[in-house]
Structure 1
Amino acid sequence: MSKTIKIAVCGAHMSGLPLNHQLTELDAKLEKKTSTAKGYRLFNVPEKIPPRPGMVRDETSNASLELEIWEMPLENFGAFMIQIASPLCIGTVFLEDGSSVYGFLCENSALLEAEEITQYGGWRAYLSK
Structure 2
Amino acid sequence: MTTVRMFVNGQAMSGGDISHALEGARFLGPAKTAPRYRFYSVRDEFPGLHPVEENGRSVPGELYEVEYAQLRERLLPAEPEELELSVIEMADGSGSLAMCMRARALTLPEVSDISEQGGWRAYLAEKGSV
TM bracket, shorter-chain basis: 0.7 to 0.9
Question: Is 1:56 matched up with 2:50?
Answer: yes
How many positions carry a matched residue from both structures? 123
Q: TM-score, normalising length from structure 2? A: 0.87
- The superposition leaves residues 65-87 of structure 1 with CA deviations (integer Å, 9 ceiling, x where unpaired) of 10111111223222032332311
Which amino acid in 2 is paired with 1:21?
H
SS in 1 for 2:58: coil
1:60-112 per-residue CA deviation (whole Å, 9 max, x = no partner) reads 12411101111112232220323323111110111000001111101122121
SS of the residue 2:116 aligns to: helix
Give the C-alpha shift of residue 5 in structure 1. 1.3
Structure 2 residue aligned with 1:92: 87
1:127 alignment partner in structure 2: 124
Partner of 1:65: 59
Query: What is the distance in 2 between the residues matched to 1:5 and 1:103?
Result: 11
The alignment yields a C-alpha RMSD, in angstroms, of 1.5
Determine helix, strand or coil for the equivalent of 2:86. strand
Structure 1 portions without partners, runs of 5+: none
Q: Which structure 1 residue ranges, 4+ long, deviate > 2 Å from structure 2? A: 74-77, 80-85
Structure 2: runs of 5+ lacking an equivalent: none
Return the offset for 1:59: 2.0
Find the residue that maps to 2:10 and give its secondary structure.
Answer: coil
The structure that is helix-richer by fraction is 2
TM-score (structure 1 length as normaliser): 0.87
